[in-house]
Amino acid sequence: MYTNTQEAIQVNKIAIVGAGLGGLACAIALRKLGYDVQVYEKAKDFRPVGGGFGLLPNGLKCLDAIEPGIVSLIKNSGCEVSQSVLKNNQGETIRTNKTARYQDKYGLPLITVWWWHLQQVLVSKVPENNIHLNHRCIGFTQDDNGVDIYFDDDKKVRADLLIGADGINSAVRETLFKDGKARYLGSMSWRAVIKCDQQLLNPGELGVVRSSREFMFLLNLGNGYFSWLYRQLLPNFFLSPNLDVAKSEVLSKIAHWGKPLQQLVEMTPSERILEAPIYDRPPLDTWSNGRVTLLGDAAHPMAPALAQGTNTTFEDVCELAWCFAQYKNISEAFNNYERRRIDRTRIIQNRSAEAEMDNYKTQEEKSPSLVLQQLQMSNEEFQDWILSYQPPTI
């Protein structure tokens, strides 16, 4: 048991569990403060996994604070979005909207990128010897002098501090708080990234296909890569026995859609399809105990409707690094990290859950947002509150 939370942060080694985007970004930031940071990842190698997603100005500002110049690398690895396109389920354009307002208002654009490509950019900034693959965390114990982290195959590592960046099913979070399984939101997802010559979007466009109780995002990811993300309202779900069945399931669901959209799924190899229910967890009142804290999806998993899961993770990294630089003991650093993060992420978590369900409703069916009513904000004011976030100087 850890009892001495008031001791000075005389920390040599920090262990991060999870080499996803948050864990790697955190390693980059904390290494710059002089810490020996070691990252432990359950995967055996860095395979081309994950889907396409959007990096918004608040996340990009944080990445630039963590690693100046990295936004240029990300632009080269992704797609700077100039226009969003709303389509019907036949693939016909209903309307377009310019997205230059992001650059004009916040100084940075919307960039769509493949998760794996961004992971590779971040991996390149961390020394190879500081990343340890094939380490699946199963728990930890701590005392006044450090933390013992346990992995499969009887592996054990000792560190001065532990940061859980191991996602929505975090072993670090479960050991800390024992809050069980994540919460299914009634929304099912199928997604893929492929390299293809498609005719649905022009370069620089992001597409949204709206239909009844279902929708699909279409993302240019740069360098010829393209992502489709199909979601359907499903109060109950089951996972397909294999990916060939998952592909057939999607094709059966969109059999009434236009041929160009069906062809996009047809040309996707089954092994590229990711089938997953949409989960979140209720917000926590604390993320830390003793020498251990959380960030990203391990701390505040949220529905993807507002595209803020990864972007707020990069906010966490900036705030945690700033607190390590400013405060002289573990308790002060973690308490201030939580003070600066929990209220904001709770609001975004709750609004994301609302927005996920709103995706399946017509304008007439939508109810006023309880979150926005409590904040006394319009939707536009809320978006501005999110995107105008300014990271502290690390």
- Which helix (H) or strand (E) segment holds residue 71: the answer is helix 70-77
With 60 as the cut, is the pLDDT of residue 277 above it?
yes
Spatial contact of 308 and 302, defined as CB atoms under 8 Å apart: yes
Q: How high is the mean pLDDT of the chain?
A: 95
Q: What is the mean pLDDT of residues 336-354?
A: 98
Asked, for residue 64, whether it belongs to a domain, the answer is no
- Is the model's pLDDT at 10 over the cut of 80? no
Model confidence over 301-340: pLDDT tens digits? 999 999 999 999 999 999 999 999 999 899 999 999 999 9
Domain that holds residue 136: 13-50+115-182+284-387
pTM of this structure: 0.95
Cα dihedral 72/300/219/244 (nearest 10): 130
In a domain, 328, yes or no: yes
Within a domain: 189: no
Instruction: Report if residue 91 sits inside a domain.
Output: no
Residue 205 lies in a domain: no
CA separation for the pair 343, 366 (Å, rounded): 26
Q: Is residue 372 part of a domain?
A: yes
How distant, in Å, are the alpha carbons of 13, 132, 268, 331 from that of 338? 22, 28, 42, 11
pLDDT computed for residue 175 by the predictor:
98
The answer, yes or no, to whether residue 5 has pLDDT greater than 60, is no
Q: Is the pLDDT of residue 9 over 60?
A: no
The string of pLDDT tens digits covering residues 49-80 is 999 999 999 999 999 999 999 999 999 999 99
- pLDDT band for position 83 (50/70/90)? very high
Tokens of 109: 């654009």
- pLDDT band of 174, cuts 50, 70, 90: very high
Give strand pairing partners of 37.
14
pLDDT class of 110 with cuts at 50, 70, 90: very high
Do 149 and 140 contact (CB within 8 A), yes or no? Answer: yes
User: What's the pLDDT score for residue 4?
Assistant: 53
326: its two tokens: 């400013």
User: Residues 178, 162: contact at Cβ < 8 Å?
Assistant: no
Residue at 260 is within a domain: no
Q: What CATH code is carried by the domain that includes residue 321? A: 3.50.50.60
pLDDT of residue 3: 52
Q: Is residue 361 part of a domain?
A: yes
pLDDT value of residue 363: 84
Name 294's bridge partners: 164
Summarize pLDDT for 222-259 with one digit per residue, the tens.
999 999 999 999 999 899 999 999 999 999 999 999 99
Q: How many domains does the chain divide into?
A: 1
